[in-house]
Amino acid sequence: MNQGELIPHLFRTEYRKIVAVLCNHFGFDQVEIAEDIASETFLTASQTWGLTGVPPNPPAWLYHVAKNKAKNYLLRVNTFEGKVSPQIINATPNSYETEIDLSPQNINDSQLQMMFAICNPAISAEAQIGLSLRILCGFGIQEIADAFLSNKETINKRLFRAKEKLRELKIKIELPSPTEIDARLAPVLTTVYLLFNEGYYSVSQDNTLRKELCLEAMRLCTMLVENNDTNKPQVNALLSLMCFHASRFDARFGKNGEQILYEEQDLSLWNTDLISKGAYFLRAAATGNQLSKYHLEAGIAYWNTQKEDTKEKWEGILQFYNRLLQIEYSPMAALNRTYALSKANDKEQAIIEVEKLDIKDGHFYFALLGELYTGIDNELAKQNLEQAIALAKTQNDKQAIQKRIDLLTV
């Protein structure tokens, strides 16, 4: 990997670690300072490595420079505040290195604690995801803007307001006590879940960014699983759900970026390792007496990784949707349930259920009706698919729907 590729790669993997540790050291009210020091560290690397070459251990070099920049910042602050002592003036660079602990354990602990600080219900879900992408995932402002189909100015303002709100509330960067973990874990899991969905169901045309969002959500959830205090059944269930979904990632889109319907996916592109991991975490989630929506969605996702198109499969999916709608109703889940109903029972019954929902503000409703009417009333199927195209927001969706219309006219 040449320098032009190495520094962006290291920025993605190491920036978040440096920021999390420095925030943990300085406090959340100094988050911009932590970000500035981390950014200056990479600027120094870009300038220095261009002259001297890449060091043998680039991450260690970055950590060393970040520690020194943090130490110099502290010296400047102490000098400004008139609190300099002879010991500080005569201190060597190494004397401050123990104060900024960039060991693997402290990096993981700091990122985990930052996750709980950022995922606070006091700020909006979009702000939580944006801050998570910036501080915990190392995404640039433009990348975050792309993920939200927004612009850098809007994202900068959103993140600034979120940081100000967390500062006003004097949010501490720490893990909750064991008795508070379950309550505080809920918004954390919601943020990770939404982050994954932002990638998996994104309307962005940037496929690489879409996949990267999913992988970052899985990384954050893995951190929660690997910590004894946060390794809860619902966390394992969420990681299981994401593994199952990610296992079919490469089969969802064709070579030209066109969306491939589930029943038309190339099964050889399904990632069997991720399916196995999903099953492992689903078994790990089967403890305790709490049934979360993540358990039920993971169950649905599990059945969707079973290649045989059997009645048992669709009845299993239908039962999971029935339970899911009981504990947390959503129009999209209700819509998806009707597709499972059509496969488990018959299309006529599913059509009745879909039309009762009357969710006409998105293309999914009409696309599903078009699918269900196919073979029963092809003219009505075509009318619904045409309505779906009119409402679809992306070219990929429009192409997928048009393909179904073309099949009706053959």
Task: Write down the pLDDT at residue 85.
Answer: 45
The mean pLDDT value for 379-392 works out to 94
Pair (116, 237) in one structural domain: yes
Pair (77, 109) in one structural domain: no
Task: Write down the pLDDT at residue 89.
Answer: 44
Task: Provide the domain limits for residue 40.
Answer: 3-101
Percent of the chain at pLDDT exceeding 70: 92
Q: What is the pLDDT of residues 242-284, one digit of tens each?
A: 999 999 998 988 777 777 878 888 999 999 999 999 999 999 9
Please give the single-letter amino acid code of residue 152: K
Pair (162, 31) in one structural domain: no
pTM given for the model: 0.85
Looking at 195-199, 310-314, 336-340, 350-354, which range is the least confident one? Answer: 195-199
Q: Of 44, 74, 101, which marks where a domain is finished?
A: 101
Pair (153, 280) in one structural domain: yes
Residue 84 binned pLDDT confidence (cut-offs 50, 70, 90): very low
Percent of the chain at pLDDT exceeding 90: 62
Pair (121, 96) in one structural domain: no
Pair (47, 134) in one structural domain: no
Pair (150, 91) in one structural domain: no
Pair (47, 86) in one structural domain: yes
Q: Could you tell me which residues come within 8 angstroms of residue 65 by beta carbon, excluding any fewer than 6 positions away? A: 41, 44, 45
Closest among 161, 148, 123 to 213, alpha carbons compared: 148
Local structure of residue 135 (DSSP, 8 states): I
On whether residue 92 sits in a domain, the answer given is yes
Please give the single-letter amino acid code of residue 291: L
Report the distance separating Cα 272 and Cα 278, nearest Å: 10
The mean pLDDT value for 192-197 works out to 91
Pair (90, 230) in one structural domain: no
Q: Could you tell me which residues come within 8 angstroms of residue 189 by beta carbon, excluding any fewer than 6 positions away? A: 221, 224, 234, 235, 238, 294
- Please state the domain count of the chain: 2
Pair (150, 283) in one structural domain: yes
